[in-house]
Amino acid sequence: SQQGEEDPQALSIQEGENATMNCSYKTSINNLQWYRQNSGRGLVHLILIRSNEREKHSGRLRVTLDTSKKSSSLLITASRAADTASYFCATSSGGSNYKLTFGKGTLLTVNP
């Protein structure tokens, strides 16, 4: 069963613009992670935010977490063509810190 659901399914922007992707989930979580996947490749970890954190930054990435709304957002600022990829949120919940449940992803296209 899918825990996280990303929104929108696809997003197309111009280079230099900001991109915002959202993730909603259903049950309480231990942490939430964002991953990037270039076409036909493996996933790359971007950032992890724990349930007691509200915001984290890493370079041009900003992640927020609202546990009351069971949602998270990923903001990529000053986007580049190289940011074109699918972005997935993944949640860890319950007693297992091993199992991650992935959403279906947002396909981001950054046009030069």
Note the residues at the interface with other proteins (CB under 8 A): 1-2, 4, 30-31, 33, 35, 40-45, 48, 88, 90, 92, 97-105
CB of 65 to other proteins, least distance (A): 15
Give 76 or 89: the residue with its C-beta nearer to other proteins: 89
Cα(19)–Cα(15) distance, integer angstroms: 10
Phi then psi for 72, rounded to 5 degrees? -140, 155
Cα(73)–Cα(53) distance, integer angstroms: 13
Give 48 or 75: the residue with its C-beta nearer to other proteins: 48
Q: Which of 76, 71, 16 is closest to 49 using CA atoms?
A: 71
CB of 31 to other proteins, least distance (A): 6
How do beta strands 10-14 and 106-111 pair?
A: parallel
Give 9 or 111: the residue with its C-beta nearer to other proteins: 9
